[in-house]
Structure 1
């Protein structure tokens, strides 16, 4: 015989509760038909696991109940260990059937063949509190020993469906993707929503953990465009293009222009937070760049009001009308930037256009005013034209001279590869072309041929800009 006592369980499963002492009762049966047996109960971690009656005597074939007491540490942390802490059940034949407590203590203090080791029962923590603790504290599986990671599966074995679903929400909210499959397979409801209608996908998107989003989708989590209309808003605010891509690839019905309670789209949110990559992605898949919110604000209005230069530049490059749109209070994006003193936005939002219009009209006074207010002399329009391109094309020599004197680049090329010199030649403005040549513009065969075709050869050869002195 290798044991005298039999326990009614193979392991000790303690229902862990934060902040409270926990107990677990077990039954021990004497297997001897004619002899009493002395029993000793100890744990591998006596600082937190104890017994009110660590020693007892069982008459032949009798059964008794024993209680294991778990004392919570002061910080209420689960005392994790690998391997698990265990309850040790030892026994010894007691022919007399009687003994004092001190006698039993001395009996079990001396190892020898008279002491039987009947069981070493692993101690597990189970229930929703234990599972939540493990879920929030355990690192990903790649750095977690297999023994510790398996504790989670044991903990949720005592959880019902609502508890499992609650844990799944916690896992989704905290981006704990490695626990999500285990919870769903155990019975958690992947389609659950809270009292406000928020889905698991929404929680995972807020966590910023793409693995959690992908895992939920893999296990059948779906979205509702009405109740989940802010998924792209959340991802865009955090510049999580990877999450937006995942959502759009898996939910083709997702509304790219869904709005929040203020009428703002995901594009508005990206503009507010200066998330240029998010802006680029949203526009590339069809988001409406000029869509206004409840106050008639476009994404450009918000980018300008926040002083986000990169977002402003990007939006201007993809929208013709946004800079002219006005809010319900009649404010343009430029006016909002002026209110906040964001002078680096004055040129792209307004002064650049004003300078170009003045150069086209040969309004030198207006050009001087624009430049004094901060307009960039080499600022480009959507076709890559600078103000010098426009003045040269129109043949406005005085405007050309003003722009060059303020640092206009004479060899800058537009979107078609034309310099101001070539634009002047194209429109037959030889005098402007000659001025540009005299101020460092590089002549090409194309520009020279154009000038020769525009004037007689002798006057072209004798032009002051081409006369060399010894």
Structure 2
């Protein structure tokens, strides 16, 4: 016989409650048919844990209860990567009787009469343990197994609260465990914020995917997942959301009347804008103050963002806010001179080239207008001047570096536009042809 005692548990799970002296009962059974057995119970950390009645006598084939207690109340569970244990030792007791001192002396002397029946690991469980494991201070612990043990004692409401805490604290790698244990993925909490929203805020694409696959539903009336992802430039998350929720509203607005495109423009997130436009989001939409995404991009001084929006916009450059301001006016207010050309000055240059207004052209070029900037049709100011046959404008533009080899949206150079306009543009045609031949030479 290699043991005299059988335990009723493989581990003693202590339900931890902050600030309380916790404990857990367990049972030992004497396997002997005719003889009493003396038992000695000791913990690997006697400072932390004690067993009530550490020395005891169990009659033949009888079961006795014992209680493990946490010696002092704690505000946080005293977890360790090497859990404490209870060592169960036993010895046959033919007389069936002995005083505590006798039992102490019996187990103080090692020998073949002492059986080591079991080593029982001690675990802390319950929502307070899980909450601690989800806190930033638990980063150094090997906590996957501890967490699984802890939540096995939690009900659905507790698991759902823990899932919300995991999202808020960025511990999204515990999402699957909490959902599998029974957390309600469609609970919205007191402020009606969904778990998907929390996952997007944490920037964890895996958590977003898990929640979608677990049946998390959306409400297009209140959920603004694309807004959150767009502001962070998380195209990967936006792709997951659009694939997981084909009916997601691309142009839904927040409390300020802003779409996800607005949010991307405010933050200067060009990749997010490219994705949103590619799936059908509107670029020229205005918020409740009459601001288009371009207004915000100009107000924040985002050059690349403004260029993208101008390229995909129909009227945003000319739209005015409720205060009567264009995107150009907002850029001027903030002193973003790098935006002046694309938002206004280039338009003036194109207009002046069309009507041969050399004075205005000189003014625009002095303000930094890009002499080769194209309009929505791919025309440069030189295309316009050549098409109209305005020689003085053509010469001025060429002096400022206008390129004669640029093609418009249909593949025409300024020379070809002049030819298209007819013989009345002969002087301009000859001038551009001569310049072209000179460049080749």
Q: TM-score, normalised by structure 1?
A: 0.84
For 1:450, the equivalent position in structure 2 comes to none
Aligned pairs, number: 436
Distance 1:304 1:125, change over 3 A: same
* CA–CA distance in structure 2, aligned partners of residues 421 and 139 of structure 1: 72
Do the aligned residues in 1 keep the contact of 2:53 with 2:66 (CA within 8 Å)? no
Do the aligned residues in 1 keep the contact of 2:20 with 2:74 (CA within 8 Å)? no
* CA–CA distance in structure 1, aligned partners of residues 405 and 156 of structure 2: 73
Do the aligned residues in 2 keep the contact of 1:13 with 1:124 (CA within 8 Å)? yes
Counterparts of 1:99-248 in structure 2, within 5 Å, are 99=99, 101=101, 104-135=103-134, 149-174=144-169, 176=171, 178-228=173-223, 230-248=224-242
Structure 2 residue aligned with 1:406, among 396, 400, 407? 400
* CA–CA distance in structure 1, aligned partners of residues 205 and 263 of structure 2: 19
Q: What CA deviation, in whole Å up to 9, does each residue of 1:411-458 have, x standing for no partner?
A: 2222222222222232242322333344456789xxxxxxxxxxxxxx
Do the aligned residues in 1 keep the contact of 2:18 with 2:76 (CA within 8 Å)? no
SS of the residue corresponding to residue 38 of structure 1 reads strand
For 2:86, the equivalent position in structure 1 comes to 87
Q: What CA deviation, in whole Å up to 9, does each residue of 1:386-426 have, x standing for no partner?
A: 11111111111111111111122232222222222222232
Do the aligned residues in 1 keep the contact of 2:25 with 2:65 (CA within 8 Å)? no
* CA–CA distance in structure 2, aligned partners of residues 206 and 196 of structure 1: 15
Q: TM-score, normalised by structure 2?
A: 0.89
Distance 1:116 1:302, change over 3 A: same
Distance 1:416 1:134, change over 3 A: same
Structure 2 residue aligned with 1:356, among 332, 345, 350? 350
Distance 1:70 1:209, change over 3 A: farther
Across the aligned residues of Structure 1 and Structure 2, the Cα RMSD in angstroms comes to 3.0
Shift of 1:219: 1.4
Shift of 1:278: 1.2
For 1:274, the equivalent position in structure 2 comes to 268
Do the aligned residues in 1 keep the contact of 2:16 with 2:77 (CA within 8 Å)? no
* CA–CA distance in structure 1, aligned partners of residues 78 and 387 of structure 2: 78
1:315 partnered with 2:315: no
SS of the residue corresponding to residue 317 of structure 2 reads helix
1:389 partnered with 2:383: yes
